[in-house]
Amino acid sequence: DETVVIDINTVDNGTENGTQTATTTILDDDATPTVTLSVVSTTINESGSPTTTLVRATLSAESNLSVTVTLTKTGTALEGSDYSLPGTIVIPALNISASVTLAATNDSAAEEDETVVINITGVTNGSENGTQTATTTIVSEDVPDAPTGLAITYDIKKFDFNWTASSNGATSYDLYEALNGIDFTKIKAVTGTTTALEIAVHIHPWSLAKYKVKGCVKVTQCGTLFSADVNTANAMLQATGYLKAT
């Protein structure tokens, strides 16, 4: 609410009766503004442009008062290690909106794309328009390093493979095979660092065949670095010894 105070300044052909003052109050009957939340871009990149976006709070109408919007952040991305974002948005008096910057943090970890989910938990001098949620996805461009220590052992009618995980992370691995020892082809995707491959011993070209693995974080985002090749000759010779012993 606001007041109008009226005083007599001068009087022509008369005098003021003491000190005259009249006051009127103008009642503010405008509704309290409501706040909506949005992001300028729903996708940003960890390293390639754009790496930032604006998180915007918008009022339903201008206010004579400053409006403060308090935010909470959830999602699969971790604040601090994956992104930075202020916890409040302040809309100055007589402004309709204000924004803060959501910035991705670049790291070397090979990881899935992650989300930042932003909600309103409080509004000073206003109210939330229903339930407001804004989401941005942070796209990771990093790919896994080469796995190490690939080894093959022979079991009954199969090869068992194991290796050491990529040092910067991987969610799956692709196993490649070269039956002629030269031309590699992907034969399976593996979750974890072990797998098995059934073989027909009498037709498998074990004296030539080689295998290698590489790490992935998405179907379309795999590393370009492979583990060292390993051949099956030693495993098969061990198997032959095992068969003779039995």
Report the pLDDT averaged over residues 161-184: 93
Three-class SS state of 231:
strand
Name the pLDDT band for 243 (thresholds 50, 70, 90): very low
Residue 229 in tokens: 């090749």
Please determine, for residue 27, whether its predicted confidence score (pLDDT) is greater than 70. no
Q: Which residues contact 245 (CB under 8 A, 6 or more apart)?
A: none
* E strand or H helix at 135: strand 133-139
Please determine, for residue 31, whether its predicted confidence score (pLDDT) is greater than 80. no
Report the pLDDT averaged over residues 31-36: 92
For 76, list phi and psi in degrees, rounded to 5. Answer: -85, -20
Residues paired with residue 231 on neighbouring β-strands, in sequence order: 210
**pLDDT by residue (tens digit) across 97-144?**
999 999 999 888 888 889 999 999 999 999 999 999 999 999 988 889
Dist CA 80 CA 32 (whole Å): 34
Closest to 186 (Cα-Cα) out of 195, 194, 176, 198 = 176
Instruction: Tell me: cis bond preceding 205? Omega within 30 of 0 counts.
Output: no
Look at residue 184 in the predicted model and tell me its pLDDT. Answer: 96
Dist CA 132 CA 179 (whole Å): 57
Dist CA 222 CA 126 (whole Å): 48
- Cβ neighbours, 10 Å, residue 45: 17
Look at residue 239 in the predicted model and tell me its pLDDT. Answer: 55
Look at residue 14 in the predicted model and tell me its pLDDT. Answer: 83
Q: What is the pTM of this model?
A: 0.68
Q: Which residues contact 215 (CB under 8 A, 6 or more apart)?
A: 110, 143, 144, 145, 146, 147, 165, 166, 169, 170, 172, 173, 222, 223
**pLDDT by residue (tens digit) across 197-227?**
988 766 678 788 999 999 998 766 888 899 9
Name the pLDDT band for 240 (thresholds 50, 70, 90): low
Look at residue 162 in the predicted model and tell me its pLDDT. Answer: 96
**pLDDT by residue (tens digit) across 139-165?**
988 889 999 999 998 888 888 999 999
Rounded to 5°, the CA angle 174-175-178 comes to 135
**pLDDT by residue (tens digit) across 63-92?**
999 999 999 999 999 999 999 999 999 999
More confident residue, 144 or 241: 144
Please determine, for residue 241, whether its predicted confidence score (pLDDT) is greater than 70. no
